Structure 1
Amino acid sequence: MSTNTLESKPHYPILDGLRGVAALLVVAFHLFEAHSAGPLFQILNHGYLAVDFFFLLSGFVIAYAYDDRWGKMSIGNFFKRRLIRLQPMVIMGMIIGALLFYFQDSVLWPTIHEVPVWKILLVMVIGFTLIPVPSSLDIRGWAEMHPLNGPGWSLFYEYIANILYALFVRKFSKTVLSFLACISGTALIYLTLTTPQCTVIGGWSLEPQQIQIGVTRMMYPFFAGVLLFRMGKLIPIKNAFFWSSLFVILALAMPRIGGANHLWLNGLYESFVILFFFPFIVSIAAGGAISNKTSSAICRFLGDISYPIYITHYPIIYIYTAWVADTKTPINEAYLVFIFTFLLCILVGYTALKLYDIPVRKWITAQLA
């Protein structure tokens, strides 16, 4: 079956907009992180929870898009559609990471200038596949599974979630899915209360604990997103885009809970947000409606740029982080560079979308038709 046999369904416009809001917050979080003295002092302290929000959105949207299509769609066709949607920008993110690598030289990773070009190219090609690189190819020293473009780790787990959905989850009843969500939620709570910093942050490394974090962060939100769609318990309210966006911003900007002496309170906060607050936000967003053309255009724009920004911004963040570390520039003196870098990340993402992602996806779809 060709990939264009199944027509695309209408999107949930507010969910698209929320995805863009969360992506912009991720960029801001990473920029602020360059100035942070540690997790307790980070501005937009819980910005990393955007990844968990993305997993929840993914489960909801995939269930909406594909649950009723399996009678006329093969597993292979599903994987083709997902690869066409995600893989071109994965490749672009790795290319940008390779092109900018030598501009990232810093005291943070003093061996960059010694890395041979062949090794960068090898890491880039492996990165095209999202297969994690071994420790022998850790060209930065941060133990990232994708050292040219750190956020590639979340796409790695996104693909695992897609595989689980196609092979198993699509067949699960709501009862089975509820049971698995409960088990996964329990594992999430255990994770947030037992890790040294009582947080879900992590998942980007092949170390055993990091793999546990990555799997746990993916499982509950994705299962819960599929279950939320199948339950159909949406919450229609007025101004749903405003309120859901505000709730996402508040959740991600919340200061560290409990301080250094009561870290477990932060674990409880993150568990509450992922287990209950994020599904509540998605229920509001999916149950709401766009009332005017301006809001519709904003949501469409934010939805369009969300993925390109997310998967291309971090090579630029490496440069900004290196500059801050080398010059020791405080945030109150770096605000112009901060704003410029933030806008540059948006511009790079938007340019990649228009000049590369959309044309490439159209070309691939036409070739497979």
Structure 2
Amino acid sequence: MQNNLKSAKPHYAALDGLRGIAAIAVVIFHCYEILTPDLTKNPIAHGYLAVDFFFCLSGFVVAYAYDKRIKTLGVKQFLINRLIRLQPLVVLGTVLGLLGFLFDPFLTASPVREFGWGKIILATVCSLLLLPSPILGRYENVFPLNAPAWSLSMEYFINLFYAFVLIHLSKKMLLLFLVLATAFIITVAYLHGSIVGGWSASSYGDGYARVLFSFLAGLTVYRFNLILKNRINFLLYGLLLSGVFLFPHFENDWFTEIAFVILLFPLIISGGAGTQVSERLRKICIFLGDISYPLYMVHYWMIWILGNYAATNPGQQKLYIFSIGILISSILLAWISLKYFDEPVRKWLKMKMKSNKS
């Protein structure tokens, strides 16, 4: 969910790899929401914290890519660049979600008969525009056709906030904003016993607490140059991040989640940005980074199908086989989406922008 780093500047391959690990964790977590709905029994119980890691990484990378050039680039061009980077997969995710919704083989009732074309079209338009529209049931998802899009609506919000406010902050003011955002996310976590919110109509406001703190934390790591030079192997960072996602869930364990998000994620980004990656691992990391955003945006239509398949009571073994198929298919679809849709569309849009200027 970040800009590709310019070739003239250092490329943080370890951060690419960590972003890919987080995206895979999200897919596995979503499968386990069907396989083991009880979070206290879910083996990847904190997989949803991958979103907070994405937000923190986004703060670091956006600052890295734009802090020193947004004044000459201009706010308008910055926002256009972000739109080109993010929107093609928003569109693809919506289209896949719509097709999955209409042609799910395990649905017991026709979506058109149940909701009508009016609501379906409205939900589709809102999904394309990243406007919340919890109008198709589906457990109050604010983006019922592509549930993960809620975090993209937060990404767009924080990019606007960055362009109009955060870019102008002094270091002292940035720390003040970070303190306020810390108080905000701690309050949300304490009141709700967790920071899993943002995806549903009743918890959508929690998403602002998550994105504000984590983006500001990543921004702080960059602006204060808190990059920890080290020789720790990338695999250890990957294991540490995976350990967060695999950490058991307990009722009202908000304090643990806050510790992960406030302390550990910025530290992982600081260390990951400061470590070197071997050439073999570098290629793997870049691949993982490349497919991370497509993977995040194109997998969820299959999760709805998995859920409806589970309702037919096929047995746990078949559900696990189905889930493994979803994970493999999601990674393959992410790569295909990247190479044959996302990259060509972004290239065309950039060329179109250049031709309009000339």
Aligned length: 348
How far does the alpha carbon of each residue in 1:2-57 deviate from its partner, in whole angstroms, 9 at most, with x for none?
xxxx9875531111111111000100011111022422222200000000000000
Q: Which residue of 1 aligns with 2:12?
A: 12
Maintained 8 Å contact 1:131/1:156: yes
Q: 1:183 to 1:161 in 2, by over 3 A?
A: same
Contact in 1 for aligned 2:35/2:319 (Cα 8 Å)? no
Between stretches 123-132 and 51-60, larger displacement belongs to 123-132
Runs of 4 or more above 6 Å deviation: none
Distance 1:348 1:118 in 2: 30
Measure how far apart 1:76 and its partner are: 0.2
Structure 1 gaps, min length 5: 1-5
Instruction: Give the Å deviation of 1:187.
Output: 1.8
Q: Which residue does 2:275 correspond to in 1? A: 288
User: Could you tell me whether the CA contact under 8 Å between 1:240 and 1:285 is conserved in 2?
Assistant: no
Instruction: State how far apart, in whole Å, the 2-side matches of 1:343 and 1:82 are.
Output: 29
Match of 1:366 among 332, 351, 355: 351
Partner residue of 1:276? Answer: 263
In structure 2, what is the equivalent of residue 226 of structure 1?
219
CA contact 1:105–1:113 (8 Å) conserved in 2:
no
1:3 alignment partner in structure 2: none
Aligned to 2:3: none
Partners of 1:327 and 1:85 lie apart in 2 by 41
Do the aligned partners of residues 110 and 236 (structure 1) sit closer, same or farther apart at CA in structure 2, a change above 3 Å counting?
farther
1:1-369 superposed matches below 5 A: 9-104=9-104, 112=111, 114=113, 115-117=115-117, 119-133=119-133, 135=134, 138-195=135-192, 198-207=193-202, 210-257=203-250, 260=251, 263=252, 266-292=253-279, 294-327=280-313, 329-330=315-316, 332-369=317-354
Task: Extract unaligned runs of 5+ from structure 2.
Answer: 1-5
State how far apart, in whole Å, the 2-side matches of 1:151 and 1:26 are.
9
Distance 1:7 1:224, change over 3 A: same
CA distance in 1, matches of 2:7, 2:19: 22
In structure 2, how many angstroms separate the alpha carbons of the residues matched to 1:204 and 1:306?
A: 19
Most deviating of 229-238 and 350-359 = 229-238
Find the aligned partners of 1:113 and 1:307 in 2 and give their Cα distance: 30
State the identity as a percent.
Answer: 35
Report the RMSD for the aligned CA atoms in angstroms: 1.9
DSSP 3-state at the match of 1:34: helix
Q: Do the aligned residues in 2 keep the contact of 1:225 with 1:279 (CA within 8 Å)?
A: yes
Note the alpha carbon deviations across 1:105-136, whole angstroms, 9 max, x for none.
768x9673623345433322221111222x5x
Change (3 A) 1:334 1:205: closer
- Post-superposition Cα deviations, 1:309-368, rounded to whole Å, max 9, x if no partner, equal 0011111111112112322532x4533222111101111111111110000000000010
1:59-85: CA deviations, max 9, x gaps? 000010000003311100000100000
| Structure 1 residues 110 and 223: alpha-carbon distance in aligned structure 2, compared to 1, 3 A threshold | farther
SS in 2 for 1:116: helix
Residue 243 of structure 1 aligns to which amino acid in structure 2?
L
Amino acid in structure 1 at the alignment position of 2:149:
G
Distance 1:203 1:289 in 2: 35
Query: Is residue 85–residue 346 contact of structure 2 (8 Å, CA) maintained in 1?
Result: yes
Find the aligned partners of 2:80 and 2:7 in 1 and give their Cα distance.
Answer: 14
Amino acid at match of 2:144: P
- Equivalent-residue separation in structure 2 for 1:213 and 1:156 (angstroms): 13
- What amino acid sits opposite 1:16 in the alignment? D
TM-score (norm 1): 0.89
Distance 1:200 1:101, change over 3 A: same
